[in-house]
Structure 1
Amino acid sequence: MHRHLAVLHVDDDPDMLALSEAAFEQIDAVTLVTAASAAQALDVLDESHIDCVVSDSLVLPNGTPLVAAINQRDDDLPILLFTAKEWVEVADIATAAGVAEYVQKAGPGDLSTVLKRVEELVNESDEFEASFEAGESALQEALSTHASAASKASLGLAEEWDLIGQWVGEAELSITIIEAMEAHAGLAAIEVPLFDAIDPEALQSLLEPLVDKQAESSVEVRFEYGEFELAVTSAGDIYARPRSIKDY
């Protein structure tokens, strides 16, 4: 194989970037570069050769959509828009910016679709195709394992629980929990230190990150944290509900 393809993934969600790194590292033909903001993405494009951009629907500080700014710099650079927004919400901007592909975010399994679309945009030879196929197969296996573990680990959770986050192993589990609670319920939710509720190191030792072929157990740990009850599963899923709700 004469060179690696360079794919830039831009997203302001660190867990999504961590999951993307875990997915793309399965593909020998690709070097993944990540950026956590629109401005950082333009810096990467200034400094590095990029073959394809996968981007959330982010905007620059001046209000310019990132995909439009990328297209203005290089209208031959393929862009895949990977966002939770419906197509009708982004169609005008995406079309004007020459976005080549659109994939809606709905869950971890959508990354498999992203891999396929990136392959279609940048494929150069049979060697690249074989590398992508091997990576997609590895990702599907990991996601299948996660789905099975999530199903087993969450059987005891009633409908009152909200899925507030997923630990993919990039950051410490304790940081992921705190950030998920902050996003879910605001700063007041984290006034109580996590280590007053549970031993974070012991909890992390029990669990495996989202994309991990070893995550086949069905551990579920529940504990009270401030005004909430949390449940963290061996599939990396983090659930929360008010402490007043009990199903046991």
Structure 2
Amino acid sequence: MGTPQTVLHVDDDPEMLALSTATFHQFDDISLLTATTAIDALDIVSSHSVDCVVSDSLMLPDGVPLIEALRRENKDVPIVLFTAKDWTEVADVASAAAVSEYVQKAGPDDLSTVLEHVGMLVDGDRDESLAAGVSAVTEALADHADAASAASFSLDENWELVGQWVGDDELGIVVVEAIEAHAGLPAIEEPLYDYIDADALEELLRPVLEDEERPGIEVRFPYGDFELAVTSTGDIFARPEPGETLY
């Protein structure tokens, strides 16, 4: 096995980055870095050797498109523009940044298309090995989309996605880190086990990508000043407990 190729995925949607992390995790020859802001993306590119960038159509605070700034930072790195915008909306910027590929976000299959492009761009010889896993990834992502719809059907706009569990770490640790990052450290002084049996919760739920069907499970419980909801797709939602004002 050769040295892993480093891919940076930039998107302001944490759920998309969680799906991307779970997807690229299937392949040992790709190391994935993620960023949720244009500034963080530039910091990573300036401090890491990046072999390919997958980027949403984000802007820097001064209004400069991220992909243009990335191209100025590195004139050779391949860029895959992965955005919900139509080509007509991004054509000028994409051309100026000399993007290698454009993929429009429309459904779960599109992330697999991104994966195929990345495989060709980082090393054409690796594309065949990557392609062998693409169909399985596509099916898993489609299953996740269906399960997510079933599991979170009762969550209204007051809930905010704060994290996602992909099965690599203990669920209890991921929940605590997600709510701390959401509310600011230290968010909650009491341990999680005062509120719920995290081991039992982990047994009940499943990682995002698996070769098995998952029922639409949603578990809600209080945690400090918050109410949390964890679904069987690994999504972690939070909202202030009724009567609490946190911001």
- 3-state SS of 1:137 partner: helix
Partners of 1:17 and 1:34 within 8 A in 2: no
TM-score, with length taken from structure 1: 0.67
Does residue 114 (structure 1) correspond to residue 124 (structure 2)? The answer is no
TM-score, with length taken from structure 2: 0.67
Ranges in structure 1 where 5+ consecutive residues have no aligned partner: none
Q: Which residue of 1 is the match for residue 159 of structure 2?
A: 162
Partners of 1:7 and 1:54 within 8 A in 2: no
Q: Which residue of 2 is the match for residue 190 of structure 1?
A: 187
- In the alignment, which of 223, 230, 233 is matched to residue 232 of structure 1? 230
Q: Which residue of 2 is the match for residue 147 of structure 1?
A: 145
Q: Which residue of 2 is the match for residue 77 of structure 1?
A: 77
Ranges in structure 2 where 5+ consecutive residues have no aligned partner: none
Q: Which residue of 2 is the match for residue 9 of structure 1?
A: 8
Offset of residue 229 of structure 1 = 2.6
- 3-state SS of 2:230 partner: strand
Partners of 2:230 and 2:236 within 8 A in 1: yes
- 3-state SS of 2:209 partner: coil
- CA distance 1:228–1:101, shift in 2 (3 Å): same
Structure 2 CA distance for aligned equivalents of residues 100 and 202 of structure 1: 46
Structure 2 CA distance for aligned equivalents of residues 84 and 70 of structure 1: 19
Partners of 1:146 and 1:215 within 8 A in 2: no
- CA distance 1:217–1:100, shift in 2 (3 Å): same
Partners of 1:168 and 1:210 within 8 A in 2: yes
- CA distance 1:88–1:160, shift in 2 (3 Å): same
Considering only aligned residues, what root-mean-square deviation do their CA atoms show, in Å?
Answer: 4.4
Does residue 43 (structure 1) correspond to residue 47 (structure 2)? The answer is yes
Q: Give, as a single letter, the amino acid of the residue that structure 1 aligns with 2:172.
A: S
Q: Which residue of 1 is the match for residue 33 of structure 2?
A: 34
Matched pairs, number:
235
Structure 2 CA distance for aligned equivalents of residues 75 and 140 of structure 1: 31
- CA distance 1:188–1:70, shift in 2 (3 Å): closer
Partners of 1:55 and 1:79 within 8 A in 2: yes
Structure 2 CA distance for aligned equivalents of residues 88 and 163 of structure 1: 32
Partners of 2:18 and 2:164 within 8 A in 1: no
Offset of residue 193 of structure 1 = 3.1
Q: Give, as a single letter, the amino acid of the residue that structure 1 aligns with 2:48.
A: V
Partners of 2:180 and 2:188 within 8 A in 1: no
Structure 2 CA distance for aligned equivalents of residues 224 and 54 of structure 1: 37
Partners of 2:108 and 2:145 within 8 A in 1: no
Partners of 1:35 and 1:41 within 8 A in 2: no
Partners of 1:27 and 1:134 within 8 A in 2: no
- CA distance 1:175–1:63, shift in 2 (3 Å): farther
- 3-state SS of 1:169 partner: coil
Offset of residue 138 of structure 1 = 1.3
Q: Identity of aligned pairs, percent? A: 49
Offset of residue 202 of structure 1 = 3.2
| Post-superposition CA distance 1:120-155 (Å, at most 9, x none) | 656746xx5543432210101222332343344345
| Post-superposition CA distance 1:198-238 (Å, at most 9, x none) | 23333233222212334624433221223443221221122
Structure 1 CA distance for aligned equivalents of residues 30 and 115 of structure 2: 13
- CA distance 1:132–1:64, shift in 2 (3 Å): same
Structure 1 CA distance for aligned equivalents of residues 107 and 224 of structure 2: 28
Structure 2 CA distance for aligned equivalents of residues 92 and 237 of structure 1: 36
Q: Which residue of 1 is the match for residue 20 of structure 2?
A: 20
